[in-house]
Structure 1
Amino acid sequence: MPALPRISSSPSVSWNLKRRWRKPLTHPEKTLRAFIAIETPRPMQEAIGRQTAALRQRLPAPLVRWVPPENIHLTLKFLGETSITTLEQLVTLLRTAAEEHSPFELSAAGLGVFPNRAQPRVIWIGLTAPAALLALQRDIEGICARLGYSPEDRPFSPHLTIGRVNPRLNTEEKQRLRQALEERQIGELGTIQVNAFHVFKSDLQPEGAVYTRLYTLPLKSL
């Protein structure tokens, strides 16, 4: 009986087999850092700049990292790092949802902090919270959840972030901050006519974040 052929255990044969069955290389999909927001109009940005000028001078960097007035917005949903494909799917759903909401108006006034006056981390200007805004944000949150975005861990509280406090302040600096905030009052800053919301890309640069509008989602035409 003839001898059966032997299967080679040669490293070269084994390497050739591995190469033959190797899966094709895939490249990770490109992502970007994004958020959904309502823009503030130029007159409001200018009013914020005027009414907070003294506060900015009194609490300069590095005590507080102030947001440039042109970057101030109302965040509806922070998306974080997201793939282009998922973002395009999200925008398709958001566009349909936007057409079910009528335009509305917001007014801005007052100064506040998160989480509290004793340990301020974020300095903000208050906004009214009409039912139309809450309904829109709730729909956006629901759509994002369907695509796997993490839900917010706190209730939606509409505000305009104008500054972020340095977490490494010493006792004297914290007292200086609290005193400055208590002594500064912010009056009426005008209104925002909300006819659309937007998806922005955020690029983090050494000098601060740079925002680029990617998509505009118009609300229902009246």
Structure 2
Amino acid sequence: MRLFLAFVPPPSIRQTLLGTMHALPGARWQSDAQLHVTLRFIGDVDRHCADALMLALRHERFARIEALLDGFGHFERRGRVDQLWAGLGPREPLNALHAKLDRLCVGIGLEPEGRRYVPHITLARLARSTAPSPEQLAGWLSAQPPLPSDTFVFDRLVLMESHMGRDGSMYEPVFEIGMG
């Protein structure tokens, strides 16, 4: 099982983001069903590990998190842009939740997460062979209207399983826990 812990944005936020997904050559835009906030990547684990994680999650308390969309950005790999995303703020509560989930995962025997956490929702993936030029990317970014500044609430933590497919990854909820 290839797992990760995530939030699923409310429908209105997903609709807003879907409305930005156009006019960038080479972008493989995410579908509505693919839009999520990864809180902690777990990776490939067996059923025993997945069960241990679900048990550990049941024994924790998690506070609801208020967030807002906070601009656009991108990740680079080996000197080229490979992901376009919408950021989330305020970052501190999301970073604190990420750290808590990382400690929980380490507590059941998983390796600590090695990368710096950046709260975001991936909008598009960009393949090296079809990636837009830096000028095209800059043009797309500058053409985007400001994202709405309304806050929204994340109140369900979801353990997702990722299934690789021809059209990208598809995500299936395995376990959900309410946040109070």
How does the TM-score come out when normalised to structure 2? 0.87
- Which SS does the other structure have where 2:80 is aligned? coil
- Number of aligned residue pairs: give it: 179
- Provide the C-alpha distance between the structure 1 equivalents of 2:126 and 2:97, rounded to a whole number of angstroms: 30
Q: Which residue of 2 aligns with 1:80?
A: 43
- The 1:119/1:130 distance shift into structure 2, 3 A limit, reads closer
1:59 is the counterpart of 2:24: yes
Q: Give deviations 1:135-173, integer Å, cap 9, x for gaps.
A: 222111011112332322222111111111112247x74
1:48 is the counterpart of 2:13: no
CA contact (8 A) 2:9 2:154 kept: no
CA contact (8 A) 2:91 2:119 kept: no
1:114 is the counterpart of 2:75: yes
Q: Give deviations 1:2-34, integer Å, cap 9, x for gaps.
A: xxxxxxxxxxxxxxxxxxxxxxxxxxxxxx111
- Which SS does the other structure have where 1:156 is aligned? coil
Any gaps of 5 or more consecutive residues in structure 2? Answer: none
- Which SS does the other structure have where 2:44 is aligned? strand
4+ residue runs over 4 A deviation: none
Q: CA RMSD in A?
A: 2.2
1:142 aligned to 91, 103, 108, which one? 103
- The 1:66/1:189 distance shift into structure 2, 3 A limit, reads farther
- Provide the C-alpha distance between the structure 2 equivalents of 1:156 and 1:185, rounded to a whole number of angstroms: 26
1:161 is the counterpart of 2:122: yes
Q: Which residue of 2 aligns with 1:151?
A: 112
- The 1:153/1:182 distance shift into structure 2, 3 A limit, reads farther
Q: Give deviations 1:84-107, integer Å, cap 9, x for gaps.
A: 11101011111212x2x3222111
Any gaps of 5 or more consecutive residues in structure 1? Answer: 1-31
Q: Which residue of 2 aligns with 1:34?
A: 3
- The 1:130/1:121 distance shift into structure 2, 3 A limit, reads closer
Amino acid at match of 2:72: L
- The 1:173/1:163 distance shift into structure 2, 3 A limit, reads same
Q: Which has the higher contact order (CA 8 A, sep 6+)?
A: 2
- Provide the C-alpha distance between the structure 2 equivalents of 1:173 and 1:141, rounded to a whole number of angstroms: 36
Structure with the larger helix share: 1
- The 1:132/1:177 distance shift into structure 2, 3 A limit, reads closer
